[in-house]
Amino acid sequence: MVKYITIVIVCLLSNLIEIYSKTIEVCPTCPIRTLQDASKNAVPGDTILLRAGVYTTYNYIANLQGIPNAWITITSAANEEVVFRGQSTAIQFSDPAYLRIERLVFEAQTANGLNIDDGGTYETPAHHIVIENCEWRNINATGNNDLLKLSGVDSFLVRKCIFRNGSPGGSGIDMVGCHFGIIENCRFENQGSNSIQSKGGSSNIIIQKNLFVNGGLRTLNIGGSTGLQFFRPQGINYEASKIYVYSNIFVGSQAPIVFVGAVDCEVVNNTIYKPTKWAIRILQETTEPNFLKCSNNSFINNIVYIDNSAASPTINIGTNTLPETFTFSNNLWFNKDNMNWAGPNLPASETNGIRNVDPLVTENSEYGVSISKSSPVAGRGKEVLNPTEDYFGNLFNSPRSIGAIEINPKTVNNVAKSIVAQFSLYPNPVSDYLEIHFPEYPVNHNSLKIYNVLGECVTSSYVPSNEKHMFIDVKDLPPGIYFVCFNYFIEKIIIQK
């Protein structure tokens, strides 16, 4: 069997063609002293370089837009700390596009740390946003205030960021009407209401390989409650759909996983450790006519390690929901305080569930939990298309382990390792033609296939020997998440119209 390497790197980060560009320097003693002023002079391809210092002004920036081959980058100088401190909100971007934000620190705001919105134009969302290696800490607020607020943002990536000490009434990341995004390799600590909330018609968002420590009342609020006037687009009849929660670790919090008015969402291969009240909640807060009830969600291959505080019940089910439509499979449920615990009373029958067998998980301050190499979860997971990688980026075995960490992961083929960076797709998201660059590696009689999220092959193309470059027509494929499979590679793409 061919072993695939999952790249899962959005091409938002690569293959940008260099054009004429300039660097705009900002510092407390420079001619340009604020980000807002610097943005007035920025054009596609420019970099706004912030030098070390504490910036205390409010920055409102409208229509800061790069283009597909010339993004605008806002970053700090290498090895220099740039802190946005205080104010109601540090930065508000209205209707940005093709914008990369990296290596910035936000602290002590009284409303939201960083706010990105679509300017109220639901038909033209903010889009193509990358936020990487940023930190939010110690917000100076107590109400419904968020560290990172996204409203009407499509095609985005949040990666390798830290969110610490959020508002008691707010979220680490709050999304209203956001679509086609990835949140990965982030760390959330001591949040208030939520670590991540996705509502208001949010869909097609992957939340993967993150660590949540005391992530709030509802660590992942998959859905929520939104005024209908704020839905993006208007007329959507669910709070959240196609939210994919893969290979995350949850330590503490009142309820790590909460489905609220959510449909067709997946929670697969995660580790939940010692929640304080419930492991899962199934709720419905929006009950307008024709609004879908919380239904048809999946909970598969997860470790749920609890004590008596979360045993009665482990799953909290509210009214106006359809919990019997949920899919439960191959989860391990363990109560460390009661060796005779029969397991949770699930609202639907579970296939191949494991009840009250110790998974040999212990708390670890660096990455949440550790798991013994002799854990009984090894090889007990259901075979699924996604995720392909565990919390540490190791490939899942076949058969895979239950939980976020693969037991005794296999070594990746060294040849595949050396060429992985050479296989690339552009653009991503894509709407018409997908451009593919193949590695400097002999290829003989291979096919390139594209699969949908159900694992169905939707197109197949022959790749001639030693082919280096080709285009694939995807205009007729419906919008959504797909997987391009070729030789040793699987790459996730998003098709949007």
pLDDT digits (tens, 9 = 90+) for 435-445: 887 765 444 44
422-495 maps to which CATH number?
Answer: 2.60.40.3080
- On the question of pLDDT at 25 being above 80, the answer is yes
- What pLDDT is recorded for position 180? 86
- What pLDDT is recorded for position 151? 97
Q: Please tell me which residue, 429 or 255, carries the higher pLDDT value.
A: 255
Q: Which two tokens stand for residue 373?
A: 């190499």
Q: Is 230 helix (H, G, I), strand (E, B) or coil?
A: helix
What percent of the chain is predicted at pLDDT more than 90?
A: 70
Return d(Cα 211, Cα 370) in angstroms, integer.
13
- What pLDDT is recorded for position 422? 52
Average pLDDT in the chain: 89
Comparing 81-90, 356-365, 385-394, 488-497, the range with the smallest average pLDDT is 488-497
Q: Please tell me which residue, 447 or 310, carries the higher pLDDT value.
A: 310
Q: Which residues of 391-411 are buried (b: 16+ CB within 10 A; e: fewer)?
A: beebbbbeebbbbbbbbebee
284, burial (CB in 10 Å: exposed 0-12, middle 13-18, buried 19+)? buried
- On the question of pLDDT at 66 being above 70, the answer is yes
Give strand pairing partners of 93.
Answer: 61, 116
Q: Please tell me which residue, 493 or 278, carries the higher pLDDT value.
A: 278
Q: Which two tokens stand for residue 18?
A: 């260099």
- On the question of pLDDT at 5 being above 60, the answer is no
Give strand pairing partners of 448.
Answer: 461
- On the question of pLDDT at 297 being above 70, the answer is yes
- On the question of pLDDT at 248 being above 80, the answer is yes
Task: Please list, in sequence order, all residues whose beta carbon lies within 8 angstroms of the beta carbon of residue 351, skipping any fewer than 6 positions away.
Answer: 328, 329, 330, 382
Q: Which two tokens stand for residue 409?
A: 């992961």
Contact in structure between 11 and 426 (CB atoms under 8 Å)? yes
- On the question of pLDDT at 6 being above 80, the answer is no
- What pLDDT is recorded for position 21? 78
Task: Please list, in sequence order, all residues whose beta carbon lies within 8 angstroms of the beta carbon of residue 328, skipping any fewer than 6 positions away.
Answer: 298, 299, 300, 346, 348, 349, 350, 351, 353
Comparing 67-71, 378-382, 413-417, 429-433, the range with the smallest average pLDDT is 413-417
Q: Give the single-character DSSP code of 336.
A: T
Mean pLDDT of 305-332: 97
- On the question of pLDDT at 250 being above 60, the answer is yes
- What pLDDT is recorded for position 26? 97
Given phi > 0 = left and psi -120 to 50 = alpha, else beta, which region is 160?
left
Return d(Cα 259, Cα 240) in angstroms, integer.
9
Return d(Cα 159, Cα 209) in angstroms, integer.
10
- What pLDDT is recorded for position 439? 62
| CATH architecture of residue range(s) 5-371 | 3 Solenoid (2.160)
Domains of the chain: which residue ranges?
A: 5-371, 422-495
Return d(Cα 112, Cα 146) in angstroms, integer.
5
- What pLDDT is recorded for position 13? 41
Confidence of residue 123 (pLDDT cuts 50, 70, 90): confident
Question: What phi and psi, each to the nearest 5 degrees, are found at residue 323?
Answer: -65, -20
pLDDT digits (tens, 9 = 90+) for 147-187: 999 999 998 999 999 999 999 999 999 999 999 899 999 99
Comparing 7-11, 122-126, 130-134, the range with the smallest average pLDDT is 7-11
Confidence of residue 325 (pLDDT cuts 50, 70, 90): very high
pLDDT digits (tens, 9 = 90+) for 265-283: 999 999 999 999 999 999 9
Distances (CA, A) of 341 to 179, 318, 333, 338, 360: 40, 23, 10, 5, 17
Return d(Cα 253, Cα 103) in angstroms, integer.
28
- What pLDDT is recorded for position 70? 87
- What pLDDT is recorded for position 355? 97
pLDDT digits (tens, 9 = 90+) for 459-475: 888 877 667 778 888 98
pLDDT digits (tens, 9 = 90+) for 359-396: 999 999 899 999 999 999 999 999 998 898 999 999 99
Mean pLDDT of 307-335: 97
- On the question of pLDDT at 49 being above 50, the answer is yes
Contact in structure between 162 and 137 (CB atoms under 8 Å)? yes
- On the question of pLDDT at 450 being above 80, the answer is yes
